[in-house]
Structure 1
């Protein structure tokens, strides 16, 4: 545990390969590959993610702000990427992850609030989180309180690797990592019907549904154009347990 109760990855859990899938291996992103992983997210996730795609029609994100956002998450030392061993370890996919801690739940706020070009995005994300308790979960008839919660901040797969199970592999690997480092639950915002369908296969559930038609900026439903095919964002989470 770090300053103010924030999550710190235990030194007893070194960086390693967490999962193998076909010709791909999923492993921790080393420090010298962070820039490449961030570029993968910029080239893929930030081009395809529905809310970003809609907001950028009128608001351009600065690449500097995107990199600050990604770098801040990478500092939690739990983000992963998938490499294709049959293609000189080309990056096939990336999942950027950070941790929210019960003792210091606002650790990442200073960074998020400083990213002026992304203000509309973070306002929407906060709207999604409103009323959600990240740290209390139902387990049978009992409530379980966890100290650290995984916050997935984006998952990207290169176009040429889509349909090969890379997203599933990244999710399986990140949940396996979490159990090793003492992260007891996951809670994230999923904005696409495709990402929602994938994550719901992994023992989690929808906690809150946020219809795009109901989200207003100055009385205007700025995200209503996402439906179809995407009717809503979903807050999805749950306890992480060994399968």
Structure 2
């Protein structure tokens, strides 16, 4: 990853605040979406390892969590992602508990392509996601050298049903404006992330049904996967 955060953008910064239900009542309380602080990198990665790899449709279908090499691979990837200091975390105001997390990063034309993967299950998931990314041709279609992408969006189960994913995605807009990125694009694999993306204004750039994906490449068969299709979705930042 060749992109670096501009030195004049304070880190960590808060990018978005919103109201949603409290944890144990219908009272509306404040939440913030901000940069994941450096001293919470390990906590953020552990949050994803404890939730995302069990919930995300492709990872769940491949039973990725049962293959240690794949777990190590995805951990190593997130360790690189957070170094860009672009990952977004949601906290309830007054609490340091991670409510949700988006492993956002800048995807650049000149990024190295020699990423080494050891686990077969993560290789299948990763390559499927890369197929959708490549078909979207974001750099070429939107004429940008870099854009904000992501490798994982997760909300703690006890905080679901509050629109948290939508608000985390919404925080990408001020973040992109601040760091000079004109586009954000991500492969959304589940209805639970695709619907929030639509609410924020993301548009489909490449869509394929999972059964068609499996016909194209046997490695991309995801048994009993939740959802009908996978989507690459993109938002231009005004």
TM-score grouping bracket, smaller chain normalisation: 0.7 to 0.9
List alignment gaps of at least 5 residues for structure 2: 20-29
- Relative distance call for 1:183 and 1:61 in structure 2 (3 A) is farther
Which blocks of at least 5 consecutive residues in structure 1 are unaligned? 138-143
User: In the alignment, is residue 216 of structure 1 matched against residue 214 of structure 2?
Assistant: yes
Once residues 124 and 49 of structure 1 are traced to their aligned partners in structure 2, the CA distance between those partners, rounded to angstroms, is 13
Q: Give deviations 1:40-83, integer Å, cap 9, x for gaps.
A: 11111111000110011796253322210111111111001111
> Does residue 7 in structure 1 map to residue 3 in structure 2?
yes
In structure 2, distance between residues paired with 1:123 and 1:164:
32
> Of residues 188, 192, 195 in structure 2, which corresponds to 1:194?
192
Partner of 1:119: 123
Distance 2:219 2:10 in 1: 48
Q: What TM-score comes out, normalization by structure 2 length?
A: 0.85
Is the 8 Å Cα contact of residues 84 and 105 (structure 2) preserved in structure 1? yes
Residues 11 and 130 (structure 1), Cα distance of their counterparts in 2 relative to 1, 3 Å cut: closer
CA distance 1:174–1:213, shift in 2 (3 Å) = same
Q: 1:93 to 1:131 in 2, by over 3 A?
A: closer
Going from structure 1 to structure 2, the CA distance change for 1:53 and 1:9 (only over 3 Å counts) comes to same
TM-superposed deviation, 1:131: 3.0
Offset of 1:204 from its aligned partner?
2.0
More helix by share: 2
* Equivalenced residues, count: 224
1:152-231 to 2 correspondences below 5 Å = 152-216=150-214, 219=218, 222-223=221-222, 225-226=224-225, 229-231=226-228
